[in-house]
A and B are shown apart, each in its own frame.
Chain A
Amino acid sequence: MSAIGFLGKVVTLATFALTPIAAAALDAPSGEVVLTVTGQITETNNGDQADFDIEMLEALGVETFATTTQWTEGEPEFSGPTLQSILEAVGAGTTQLRATALNDYAIEMDAGTDGFPGPVIATKLDGAPMSVRTKGPLWLVYPYDMDIKFQSEVIYSNSIWQLRSIEVLD
């Protein structure tokens, strides 16, 4: 854990303080649903599941960082809410998740308890919304360059693009 990691935590806490809606019941999405969370969650807005549009996600607080990835050229800038903020928003019982992509890629992962730096559900790449063609609209990324712990096989397989749904496991 580096100073930046610690700073990240502070920033995350600051974010929660500024967004007291976190514990409130979820509003219904007004735009196109881009993420559906199911499983062990307490907050829902569509039956047993919680649906999110881009606006709802970005309302959870946005982290922005630049990093190289093995899937892109150069050092793109990602921005979006942390995975943790989403799990809190849905009142997830555990951090064990099963994430599924549009291309049916699915992975079971442990989201961990860290805020930023940690897994981020990017909604924008270089300040622009991502299309499916450019691994959007959601891409679970880590600030890979920030810490060597974000450069393992597990992290890479966790980095799921074209993310569509998350199931919080028991």
Chain B
Amino acid sequence: MVALILFIFIALASVITLTLSVFQKQKELQYASSDSVIWTLSQLEVEYLKFSSSLLDADSHSSDPAKLRDLRQKFDIFYSRVDTVSNLRGLYKYESGQETRAIFGVIRNELDRAIPLIDANDAALADGINQLRAMDQRIASLVRSASLENLQNFVAISSIARETILSTMQLLGAMTIGMMIALAITVLILFRLAGKNERVATEQRHLAARLQTILDTSLDAVLVVDTDGFIHHFNGAAEKVFGHTRAEAVGHGLTDLIIPEEYRRAHEIGMQRMRDRGETRLVGRGRIEIEAMRKNGAIFPVELSIERVETDDETFFVSFIRDISDRKQAERELVDARDRALAGEKTKSRFLAIMSHEMRTPLNGLLGMLDLLRQTKVDQKQRFYIENMEFSGRVLLDLINNVLDLTKLETDVDVLNNSSFDPERLIQEVMASQLALARNNENQLHYEWVGDVAQGVLSDRARLRQILLNLVNNAIKFTRNGEITVEAEILEPLTVDGRHELELRILDTGCGIPETELDRVFDDFETVDNDYDRNAEGSGLGLGIVRRLVRMMGGQIGVESELGEGSLFWVRLPIVMTERSEEAMPFAALATPNRDANLLMVEDNEINRRVLREMLEHQGHTVSEAHNGMEAVEKSSLDHYDAILMDISMPGMDGITATKHIRSSDSPNKLTPILAVTAHAMPEEVKTFIDAGMNAVLNKPVQRNELTKRLNEWIGEDEDIDDDFDDGDMDAEEDNVIKSLARDLQAEEIAGLVGRFLSETDQVMEQLGQMPHTDENRVEITSMVHKTAGSAGSFGLADFHHDLAAAQTGLKTDPDYDITASVLGLQQSWRIAREDVVRTLQDLKITIEQ
């Protein structure tokens, strides 16, 4: 195309040049540079002949002066003509012109020689006529040939001129034709281009129409906005979503139209940043969920995606906006449904737990009675039956305990109670506790530490203990007349920043687990087919609990087994190596009753009463009975007891109400420790008990050890009793009431409970300090001390409680009691107790709001 245009230009230039040249020629013709050459040439001969005839005439009449004058004139005219013709411009300027010139040279010479004669007087001329005639004869043929030559020259020149013009005209024609062709081609090309443009334009129109249709039918709102935030396009869906009509929206600012007020500032800042630095945070980021505003001001969630469109001189942003209110609603409903389902699940597990609790109560009766029955006189056969019954009862109890443990694990706060301890000692304890059971199955227990013995590790001792206990217990159950070996080893960290791991391996020579079952052994309620050993009994929960505990502690567990050869369970737990821990207490013997105490037992179930009474009396305590809450309140108002064992669920007044009565009355037992004896030991319930004023909880069925331990805690003198010796109850380790509560309560519950206690006591202590310590206020002060003493007792703040009790007694009995001194003492005591509480909370990693 460019070449073609160039060609047209060149052709045009050539045509112009040629046309100019033709014009020039035409002009040359118009302003002829030569006179009528033909005329001049013919005149040459004419004038020669006139001269020649005049000469002839003068020759015959040489005496006539007129003839001579005429001769002179004719000579002059001829001479002039020769001069003119020989000077004819252009006629001799080509090669053959030279010859003609030569001829004229000769003629001129002849004429010049004649001039003296012509110019002489008449007589001389008349005399010389003969010479002139001779000359005339010499030049006659020359003039003739000169004329012919000249004619020839003229023809040649004319034909050259014609040819030049012709060729110019031909070239012009050719160029014109070429230009016409080029123009035709150009026109053709232009036509085609125009057609093409038309097609493209049509396509673009269609495309635009399609796009428009797409935009109009889009379910998403589509907005095109310029960099100043003005809306350029607002589709039908946008009208529906936002409520503005297109006319209302187009040309208006985006900000005021659809951006909720609280986001406007941020939006403007973002736009400004984009204008200033071209920085965009939302553009091209895919789907973003934000909020937008409808015309009626309603805020609703949208899903947004923005893309930048760059044209030559402007930038636009195209945003697709989807109203996701419905989706959000659906999501919320889904979450609700899930929450409900989870709540249902919780209810189910609660139901399971409560059922287990409820089963534990009668089972407690059965086992207790069996225990008692065995101590009576029975023969061999009866003893055998009793033992069998007891065994079955124990299995059942195991099952129930495991289910409860599981429930507890699932509802428990996922907080590890880490402490530093001696792992070897822990293992030995567990082994010791399982010796009797092992002996029953005629198993040998071994323990081996591989590698260097760890002096101390930081981990959750109680959980580790239960893991090991369950695994050893499990091994013993499935092994007869064999060996159970526990191996412990500290594994070095695998990575630089890794942690040490404690690996425990429990090997047995028992029946083993079939390979197909290996994967399932850790599942809840899974039991290996008992064909291999009918004597093995299990709930199927022990390993499930272990696995939960291990995971909770961030460890791993696995099993390898060979059928008939034995099994190997291994556990790896991340630990921190510490120095040898301080605890270095010797193994404790079975807890023994410390003294004879005067106890009130509140229990509606007669069997349970008898069991508990037997247990307590066996330990040397004196037991009074109450059969329901009302009786308990009555009895406690009459006599002082060292402790009260309070059942919770009772006809008439329940244990909680009774406790509240006792705590709030002026009874002698206002400060007596009250222990809840219940199967309702669900975590949330414990809180209710404590709130009511109870001090501790004993789980039904009551176990002797636990009973002893709890009583020791509250009424014992020997505070050094080893708490560790226990048969698997996790609560047993804690001598701190708050820590004990922490096992059963959610962290926030503890926080609330303790927080309230702290703030209330703070308040009381402040009031005590501020109010006038006069006799008028004595009653009120006493009441406040009372109340605080109850709470302090509930939280096991023994020293503080003791001081409060002493103050209370003083206030009541001593008229000269120094109230101010007492208050100061109590405040001091409270500070110490408070610090203990706060420290305990820190240990538990519980924060309270104060």
Question: Footprint of B on A, CB under 8 Å?
Answer: 70-73, 102-103, 105, 131-135, 148, 151-153, 156-157, 159, 161-162
Contacts and interface: CB of A to CB of B under 8 A. Distances in A.
A35 to B, nearest CB: 16
A162 B47 CA distance: 13
Given A71-B88, A103-B81, A133-B83, 16 more contacts: A71-B84, A103-B43, A103-B77, A131-B76, A132-B73, A132-B76, A132-B80, A133-B75, A133-B79, A133-B115, A134-B80, A134-B83, A151-B33, A153-B32, A157-B36, A162-B80
Q: When A and B form their complex, which 6 residue pairs have the shortest distance between CB atoms, in order from nearest?
A: A132-B76, A151-B31, A133-B76, A103-B77, A153-B32, A133-B79
A103 B75 CA distance: 11
A70 B33 contact: yes
Interface residues of B, number: 23
A131 to B, nearest CB: 7
B131 to A, nearest CB: 18
B35 interface: yes
User: Which of A105, A132, A148, A159 has the most chain B CB within a 10 Å cutoff?
Assistant: A132
A102 B79 CA distance: 13
B77 A162 contact: yes
User: Which of B34, B43, B77, B84 has the most chain A CB within a 10 Å cutoff?
Assistant: B77
A67 to B, nearest CB: 14
A135 B87 contact: no
A152 B31 contact: yes
6 contacts: A102-B73, A103-B81, A133-B115, A152-B30, A156-B35, A161-B80
Given A71-B87, A73-B87, A132 B33 contact: no
B89 interface: yes
A71 B35 contact: yes
A151 B36 CA distance: 13
B35 A70 contact: yes
B51 to A, nearest CB: 10
Nearest to A156: B35
Contacts of B81: 103
A105 B36 CA distance: 13
A70 B80 contact: no
B41 to A, nearest CB: 14
Contacts of B33: 70, 151
A160 to B, nearest CB: 11
B87 A72 contact: yes
B105 to A, nearest CB: 15
B88 A70 contact: yes
A152 B36 CA distance: 11
B35 A157 contact: yes
Contacts of B34: 70, 156
B80 A135 contact: yes
A28 B30 CA distance: 43
Nearest to A131: B76
A130 to B, nearest CB: 10
Nearest to A148: B31
A108 to B, nearest CB: 15
Interface in B62-113: 73, 75-77, 79-81, 83-84, 87-89
Contacts of A71: 35, 84, 87-88
Nearest to A150: B31
Interface string B159-198: 0000000000000000000000000000000000000000
A170 to B, nearest CB: 27
Contacts of A73: 87
A103 B89 CA distance: 22
A161 B75 CA distance: 15
Given A102-B73, A132-B73, A156 B32 contact: yes
Contact of A133 (B30, B43, B80, B87): B80
B80 A152 contact: no
A135 B76 CA distance: 8
A111 B31 CA distance: 18
B92 to A, nearest CB: 13
A2 to B, nearest CB: 16
A162 B79 CA distance: 12
